[in-house]
């Protein structure tokens, strides 16, 4: 099972350095760092096809 419920994911910068999303209903901004547990979970869900990250505005 997923360890976190993640929704509304979108990169905050065109360099894709940070993702804004909701985790467990809370607004969070997650760096694209594989040592960050939130990003590891985001990547896992993206790789599984259950989450999509929108481009930066």
Partner 1 sequence: MSKARQLADNGAGGQHKNLVINGGMQIHERGGTITLGTGLTTTLDRMTFFKSHGGTNTVEQSTVAPVGFSHSLKAITTVADSSVAATDRVAMIYRMEGLDAAKLEFGSSSAKTITISFYVRSSITGTHGGAVGNGSDNRAYPFTYAISSADTWERKVITVPGDTTGTWAVTNARSLQVSWGLGVGSTYSGSAGTWEAADRNSASGATTGVLTTANATWYITGIQIEAESFATPFAPKSFAEDLYDCQRYYFKFLEGNNKEVGVGWYYSSSHVSFMFRYPTTMRATPTATDSTGTNFYTIYRNGGSDGFNSVAFENGSTESYSAYNSSEVSGTAGQAGIVRATNASSKIEFDAEI
> To the nearest whole angstrom, how small is the minimum distance from the Cβ of residue 29 to partner 1?
4
Reading phi first (left if > 0) and then psi (alpha if -120 to 50, else beta), residue 27 is in beta
The whole-angstrom separation of Cα 40 and Cα 57 is: 23
- Which pair of tokens denotes residue 21? 């999303």
Residue 18 binds partner 1 (CB under 8 A): yes
Q: Contact, 27 vs 20, CB < 8 A?
A: yes
> To the nearest whole angstrom, how small is the minimum distance from the Cβ of residue 52 to partner 1?
19
Among 7, 8, 36, 50, contact with partner 1 (rule: CB under 8 A): 36
Residue numbers at the binding site for partner 1 (CB under 8 A):
1-5, 12-13, 15, 17-18, 20, 24, 26-31, 33, 35-39
């Amino acid at each position: 099972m997923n360890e976190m419920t993640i929704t509304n994911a979108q990169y905050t910068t065109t360099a894709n350095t940070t993702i804004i999303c909701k985790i467990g209903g809370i607004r969070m901004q997650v760096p694209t760092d594989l040592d960050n547990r939130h990003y590891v979970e985001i990547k896992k869900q993206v790789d599984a096809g259950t989450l999509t990250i929108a481009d930066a505005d």
